[in-house]
Amino acid sequence: MKKILLVGESWVSNSTHFKGFDSFQTTFYELGANNFVKALKDNFEINYMPSHVASTDFPSDLKSLKEYDCVILSDIGANTLLLHPDVFVKGQKFPNRLNLIEDYVLDGGNFAMFGGYFSFQGINGAARFKNTPVERILPINIYPYDDRLEAPEGSFPSVINDHEILNGITNDWPYLLGCNEVILKNNDNITPILNIKIDKKDYPLLVLSTEFKGKTAVWTSDVGPHWLPNDFVNWKGYKILWNNLFNWLTN
């Protein structure tokens, strides 16, 4: 069974509740990719590495990373992989894991980035993947500013190139509520598959690349709420899409 490393898609939320004179706080730990993992678990072995774990546990050498047939970064910023505690706390050297991801793809490993508030450049530009080794291996260029595109009215994906990834998917795509804005690279080995129209303009949604020894892909929206609503998660094509995508990436 092919092995996939999914990194990110977790967060801690802290709320303060004010009730007249009194107040109290609540804290929740949440995982954003449970439905995605469920959709793939019959055909792939998934190591779901939450964001707070990735800082220390993301592989720090090529041999360890090559244990996986594909690596996914989803809604996790560059700082988490750059600032291992040895660097940030102790002021010591540590391998640059963004360089490692590039080396992994150049050596035949497969890589995908999914959208979110801490993907690509992200909210307030804080994801910070612009001008990094990760951008060099993606089939898109990243804007140097907050790249979120919100579509609260809902927007439907549109197919722009037929591909085996779309096999078994009928043209009844559910709506999405947003994505990250990116720019297609001009390369014959790059294939845009899906677009999304927001405010009367088309933006890349799913893009594939065979430019390097390893394959790469970007999906610029979420894998779950909020940009990808429950109607999309419950759609029969949800499972088909992800299984087709990772079959293509790992074969």
Q: What are the Cα distances from residue 217, in Å, to 27, 28, 55, 112, 250?
A: 34, 31, 23, 5, 11
Superfamily for the 2-250 domain: Class I glutamine amidotransferase (GATase) domain (3.40.50.880)
Q: What is the pLDDT of residues 103-152, one digit of tens each?
A: 999 999 999 999 999 999 999 999 999 999 999 999 999 999 999 999 99
| C-alpha 170, offset from chain centre | 24
Confidence class for position 242, pLDDT limits 50, 70, 90: very high
pTM: 0.96
Task: Provide the pLDDT for residue 132.
Answer: 98
Q: What are the Cα distances from residue 198, in Å, to 167, 176, 195?
A: 26, 10, 10
Q: What is the pLDDT of residues 75-99, one digit of tens each?
A: 999 999 999 999 999 999 999 999 9
Contact 112, 138 (CB under 8 A): no
Q: What is the pLDDT of residues 6-22, one digit of tens each?
A: 999 999 999 999 999 99
For range 174-203, the mean pLDDT: 97
Confidence class for position 5, pLDDT limits 50, 70, 90: very high
Share of the chain above pLDDT 70, in %: 100
Contact 74, 51 (CB under 8 A): no
How would DSSP label each residue in 67-81? TSSEEEEES--HHHH
Task: Provide the pLDDT for residue 85.
Answer: 97
Query: d(Cα 71, Cα 94) in Å, to the nearest integer?
Result: 20
| Domains of the chain, residue spans | 2-250
Residue 12, strand partner residues: 29
Q: Which of 184, 51, 54, 84 is nearest to 194 (CA)?
A: 184
Residue 136, strand partner residues: none
For range 36-56, the mean pLDDT: 98
